Amino acid sequence: MTDLADRPLAADSVGLLEGLTTTRSIRRYADEPIPDGALRDILFAATRAPSGSNRQNFRFIVLTDGPVATEAKAIIGRTARQAWDHKRANEGYDEGSGATPDSPKARMARSMERYVEEIEKVPALVLPCLIRHRRPTSTEGASVYPACQNLLLAARALGYGGVLTIWHALVEDELRQLLELPDEAAIAATVTLGKPEGNHGPVRRVPLDQLVYSGTWGDAPEWAVDPPGTRFTRAGPPPAPAS
């Protein structure tokens, strides 16, 4: 691996603003590993993100193959399938427009179904962690989620893709034991990465003037105008049917 010390980061083929505005969550991966050089570049970019007082209190556990990775993926697989079954039932994914195969709701359900069914096969499972220096707070994520976003954007830059989840939430104790986490480290996210299978599709959001205000709450500035070609969606998850 000494050659990586001499190897610069990959050359860019995607622009910065382009990458920021077109990177979306990828849940379907080709069955091929991510080469070490790409993992190096992705994790290097992740760890260039800012953190409070530049404490760099983020750590990334990158699980690809071998017995520990296999066991961690199995733990995440079990809990992900349970959590998705629960969400599917509670958030009405099979009701209303969900009964129509081509509706956004039904497509989302199919995508999630396949994702959780095959999650043990993801090329890389990454567990970003935060080393706490004080009691948990709702703003502590400011020191780890910017790095998670860099991770996902860097994956995109190198031809990969991923999605940030909190699948670990119900099995954190089991993972902590397997991975020998020290008491002060908390798992902040569960990220899966791989080569996208199929197309990316557009990023969809609500109109910009619903998300950006100037002055008091709700007052959109005149410049909050979506650029031409913007694709929209309602804020998720899909609403339960009225009936």
Nearer Cβ to a second copy, position 199 or 216? Answer: 216
Scanning 75-83, 92-100, 193-201, 229-237 for contacts with a second copy by CB under 8 A, the matching segment is 229-237
CA–CA distance, 215 with 53 (Å, rounded to integer)? 29
Closer CB to a second copy, 8 or 101, in the complex:
8
* Nearest distance from C-beta of residue 23 to a second copy, angstroms: 8
Q: Can residue 239 be called a binding residue for a second copy (CB under 8 A)?
A: no
Amino acid at 178: L
Q: How far apart are CA 66 and CA 68, in angstroms?
A: 6
Binding string, 35-64, against a second copy, x = CB under 8 A?
-xx-xxx-xxx-xxxx-xxxxxxxxxxxxx
Query: Whole-number minimum distance, CB 105 to a second copy, in Å?
Result: 12
The distance of closest approach from Cβ of residue 182 to a second copy in the complex, given in angstroms and rounded to an integer, is 6
Which DSSP helix (H) or strand (E) runs through 85? helix 67-90
Among 237, 239, 240, 241, binds a second copy (CB under 8 A): 237
Strand partners, 192: 125, 163
By the 10 Å C-beta count (0-12 exposed, 13-18 middle, 19+ buried), 236 is classed as: exposed
- Residue 236 vs 241, nearer CB to a second copy: 236
Nearest to 129 by CA among 156, 153, 147: 147
Which residues inside 60-99 make contact with a second copy, applying CB under 8 A?
60-64, 66, 68-69
Q: Please answer whether residues 131 and 194 qualify as being in contact, where contact means their C-beta atoms are separated by less than 8 angstroms.
A: no
Q: Which stretch binds a second copy (CB under 8 A): 76-84, 95-103, 114-122, 173-181?
A: 173-181
Residue 141 in contact with a second copy, rule: CB under 8 A: yes
Other residues' Cβ atoms within 10 Å of the Cβ of residue 157: 22
What radius of gyration do the chain's Cα atoms show?
19
* Encoded tokens for 129: 């962690």
Nearest-CA neighbor of 150 among 162, 139, 140?
A: 162
Whether residue 126 contacts residue 61, with contact meaning beta carbons closer than 8 Å, is answered with yes
Residue 183 binding a second copy, by CB under 8 A:
no
Site for a second copy in 115-134 (CB under 8 A): none
Residue 225 sits in the site that holds a second copy (CB under 8 A) = yes
Indicate the Cα dihedral angle 185, 153, 86, 175, nearest 10°.
Answer: -30
Minimum CB separation of residue 65 from a second copy in Å reads: 10
Is 169 near a second copy (CB under 8 A)? yes
Could you tell me the smallest distance in angstroms from the CB atom of residue 163 to a second copy? 7
Binding a second copy (rule: CB under 8 A), the pick from 76, 116, 122, 148 is 148
